Amino acid sequence: MAIISMVLGIAGALCGILGMLTMLGALPTFIPLEEAIGPYVATTAFWWGLAGLMLLGSIAISVTQRRTPYD
């Protein structure tokens, strides 16, 4: 379970970094919502939302791990 938590945490951090790079314009956008709010905003919101979900999943898994009193 610790490995799953670590993988989700790292993936969440990478999604957050991808969102920042998209926001700065270093990465191309892939969500075509130009008429609504703009492609950069939509793609950045997607990456940050995915990062938030993965980081929350990582926290939930790490909190619910069973521990013995002798750990």
Greatest CA span in the chain, whole angstroms?
59
Region 9-37 average pLDDT = 82
- Per-residue model confidence (pLDDT) at position 51: 95
Q: Please give the helix or strand (H or E) that residue 28 lies within, else none.
A: none
- Per-residue model confidence (pLDDT) at position 59: 92
Candidates 9, 24, 22; CA nearest to 58 is 9
Highest mean pLDDT among 34-38, 43-47, 51-55: 51-55
Query: Quick check: 15 and 48 in contact, CB under 8 A?
Result: yes
Residue 21 has pLDDT above 80, yes or no: yes
Distance (Å) of CA 62 to CA 21, 22, 23, 50: 28, 29, 30, 18
Residue 53 has pLDDT above 80, yes or no: yes
pTM as predicted = 0.76
